[in-house]
Amino acid sequence: MNIAGHSAIITGGASGLGEAAARAFSKANVKVAIFDLDIERGPQIAKEIGGVFAEVDITNEDAVHQGIARAADHHGPARILVNCAAIGGPSIRTAGKKGPHPLDIFRKLVDVNLIGAFNATRLAAYEMLDLEPLERGERGVIINVASINALDGPVGSVAYTAAKAGVTGMTLTIARDLAPKGIRACTIAPGNFETPMLMGAPQELLDYLLPEVPFPNDRFGDPADFAAMARHICENVMLNGEVIRLDGAIRHSQAR
């Protein structure tokens, strides 16, 4: 897909990977709608990039419907969805001296990081079904965001890992479901990127993680590198149904 001139929805676009994607797509002449709960940074970033902001909780069906309608009113129907909205959680083992893993924490992470991602995916995809096909019959592209935790989850991350594993697990099925209508779906599984979620971790953990990356390990990942991958997925029609690790070859060990 030649992305210039088309419209994109970026969930979680007010910070981190989503913000980087929003800025990168805007520079590529894409009309960007930011969906986020941050009503301070979201509108500010949207204004800076000439986009539109919608306050959207991705777990809420009505909120996503309203956000999609707002984006379409400003920019026309979106052909691109980049699903970056997510939350992290505390390090908690499945069971320990303090008791079993709290079920409410597990449920919350799955609700936002998996069910929310699917909610945005299904509703955005539905709006793409009736769009006029582009070159090679393409109507749209959906990019979800998982994590390398989904593939080699470290100790204490069972809730986050389960949610992100669900995202990776549904990737191929979504791609196959939507293939007859020319809508592609891929997932990016980032490693350790310099985002508010990671940088809010204890310094001891950050000091442990960085040297674990084989290369490059001079700093944590630049969100701009994530944005470049998201753009490439949109532009490369043969990328479909794939989960792409973007992690500098790190593999989480069991010890933490």
Catalytic residues: 160
- Contacts for 69 with CB less than 8 Å, ≥ 6 apart: none
With tokens 């069971």, the residue in question is 95
Using CB atoms within 10 Å of the CB of residue 252, give its burial: 0 to 12 exposed, 13 to 18 middle, 19+ buried: buried
Please say whether the dihedral angle defined by the alpha carbons of residues 157, 159, 160 and 163, taken in this order, is positive or negative.
positive
Q: And the tokens for 170? A: 């549904």
Say how far residue 131 (Cα) sits from the centre of its chain: 23
Is residue 203 classed exposed, middle or buried when 0-12, 13-18 and 19+ CB atoms within 10 A define those classes? Answer: exposed
